[in-house]
Amino acid sequence: MELSQRVSSLKGSVTLALAASAKEMAAAGRDVINMAVGEPDFDAPRLAREAAIAAIDGGAVKYTPAAGLASLRQAVAGHLSQTRGVPFGAENVVICHSAKHALSHTLLALVDPGDEVVLLDPAWSSYYAQVQLAGGVAVHAAPRPDGTCAPDLDAVREAITGKTRGVMLNTPSNPSGYVWTREELEQLASICEEHDLWMISDEIYGRLVFDGAEHVSPTSISPAMKERTVLVDGASKIFAMTGYRIGYLAATPDLARTVGNLQSQISGCPNYISQRAFEACLVEEPEEVKEMIATFDRRRQVVIDGLDRMGLRGPEPKGAFYAFPDLHERFDERGSEGFCADLLEAEALATVPGTAFGAPRHIRLSYALSEERLVEALTRLERFLSTRP
Ligand SMILES: Cc1ncc(COP(=O)(O)O)c(C=O)c1O
């Protein structure tokens, strides 16, 4: 049986596959350290858990409007107005099954077959697949060549053609931990305005910024920029609610309505229980969040110190929970994929090859692990490197 062209060249998520093989190794009895996961190791906040249980016990676990509960859309709008410093209303917001879902629905709503979407490398692997599934063509804009993973705005300009519909932005970045400065965003915004492009702004790591870095949303650059931005965020990272599967997008009322309609046909409303749990965390900031951010910052420092000790260079991780060292001098002809496979086999340390993100000189290390495990992971990496030419 022939499959559709849409899926025939589709590959599964590299990071999820790696996380799965690490879990298999662990199940077979090896002491695996999993630095491949993009998942906080904390439990969801107490408020979320209590709200979820109350939602189940309340007996109203039924369909909600396709775009989500009115009260949650209002809570998201209030949260965005406060954190991005520009006004949002419930009419701007669509609650989705996750940020991933919000991104894929956005692309389905904006991209026609053959349309181009600019990805700012190194970029999260799912963007490539999602653009492709929407019938679009992902066009890559390389970062500055100095290894910092900072954007090269000239490369962005060169990537734009008459077919470009939009740019996908992720700051703080998965995989590099890079946080865009306001000046860089202003330049990107003026490129979008000049070429009449959408900005799809994935802000899922927006609150995980460290060491004086500031997360700037393109919606706050100017009212015109807010109109052409689709802001995506969710509960997975900041509230450690990955398994709840809940996120949202905010856009113009027209686009929000369109995505709501699309969602009503493709998947229907997001999970009611998760909507209630998420709403509880937006109405009142969970007490665990501050400590979680501080914990990530301490872990970040452990990783920075460890990589420094080994003399490894890479972008300074100022946001999200990833480090992205450049190890290309230690790769054999199989590149970053071979390196990560050997590291997993030899030291039971799971990491992600940079090829998954369009950055073949790097590997990605997630520091969503306890400090104790991080220290052990760095010891394993150091030992492994000592065995390589
Ligand atoms: C950049 C980025 N965007 C979106 C997501 C997905 O978030 P969600 O769990 O809400 O689908 C991830 C998860 O790894 C991510 O790294």
* DSSP class per residue in 199-214: EEEE-TTTT-B-TT--
For residue 113, report the distance from its CA to the centre of ligand 1, in Å: 25
**Global pTM?**
0.96
Same domain, 167 and 191: yes
**Side-chain half-sphere exposure of 105, counting CA atoms within 13 A:** 34
Q: Whose CA is nearest to atom 16 of ligand 1?
A: 174
Other beta carbons less than 10 A from residue 180's beta carbon = 24
Cβ atoms of residues 288 and 50 within 8 Å: no
Same domain, 118 and 196: yes
Task: Give the pLDDT means over successive 10-residue stretches in the chain (389 positions).
Answer: 84 76 88 92 97 96 97 98 97 98 97 97 94 96 94 98 98 97 98 98 98 97 97 97 98 98 96 98 97 97 96 94 96 94 94 94 96 97 92
Q: Whose CA is nearest to atom 13 of ligand 1?
A: 38
Cβ atoms of residues 125 and 14 within 8 Å: yes
Return the DSSP state at 231: E
Show which of 233, 260, 283 is a domain's final residue.
283
For residue 318, report the distance from its CA to the centre of ligand 1, in Å: 18
Ligand 1 atom having least distance to the Cα of 39? 14
Closest CA to 55 of 77, 39, 71, 76: 71
Tokens of 277: 């749990």
Same domain, 177 and 51: yes
Cβ atoms of residues 121 and 142 within 8 Å: yes
Task: Give the helix/strand (H/E) hosting 196.
Answer: none
Same domain, 220 and 113: yes
Identify the pLDDT of residue 15. Answer: 73
Would you say the CB of residue 98 lies under 6 angstroms from ligand 1? Answer: yes
Identify the pLDDT of residue 195. Answer: 98
Identify the pLDDT of residue 342. Answer: 93
Same domain, 171 and 261: yes
- Please name the amino acid found at residue 173: S
Same domain, 222 and 274: yes
For residue 100, report the distance from its CA to the centre of ligand 1, in Å: 6
Show which of 266, 283, 300 is a domain's final residue.
283
Instruction: Spell out the residues 6+ positions from residue 28 whose beta carbon is closer than 8 angstroms to its own.
Output: none
Same domain, 63 and 105: yes
Cα 235 from Cα 248, distance rounded (Å) = 9
Same domain, 71 and 169: yes
Identify the pLDDT of residue 204. Answer: 98
For residue 329, report the distance from its CA to the centre of ligand 1, in Å: 30
- Which residues span the domain enclosing 314? 5-44+288-386
Show which of 283, 310, 330 is a domain's final residue.
283
Same domain, 319 and 368: yes
Would you say the CB of residue 100 lies under 6 angstroms from ligand 1? Answer: yes
> In total, how many domains does the chain have?
2
For 52, list phi and psi in degrees, rounded to 5. Answer: -65, -45
